[in-house]
Amino acid sequence: MMDMMRDVSPGFRREANHVHCLSPPNRLFMFLIWLRSYPSVHFLSLLFDISSSTVSRELNAIRTIMWDIYADTIVWPTPQEWLDMRGNWSDLPDAVGAIDGTSHRI
Same domain, 45 and 19: yes
Number of domains in the chain: 2
Same domain, 64 and 84: no
- For residue range 56-100, list pLDDT tens digits in order: 999 999 999 999 888 888 788 888 988 887 877 778 788 777 666
Domain hosting residue 13, numbered range? 2-70
Cβ 26 vs Cβ 48: under 8 Å: yes
Looking at per-residue pLDDT, the higher value among 23 and 41 belongs to 41
pLDDT higher than threshold 70 for residue 17 = no
Please provide the DSSP assignment of 41-91 as one string.
HHHHHHHHTS-HHHHHHHHHHHHHHHHHHHTTT--PPPHHHHHHHTTSBTT
Do residues 95 and 53 both lie within one domain?
A: no
59 and 89 together in one domain: no
Answer yes or no: do 30 and 66 share one domain: yes
Provide the pLDDT confidence category of residue 105 given band limits of 50, 70 and 90.
low
**pTM of structure:** 0.66
- Report d(CA 14, CA 9) in Å as an integer: 9
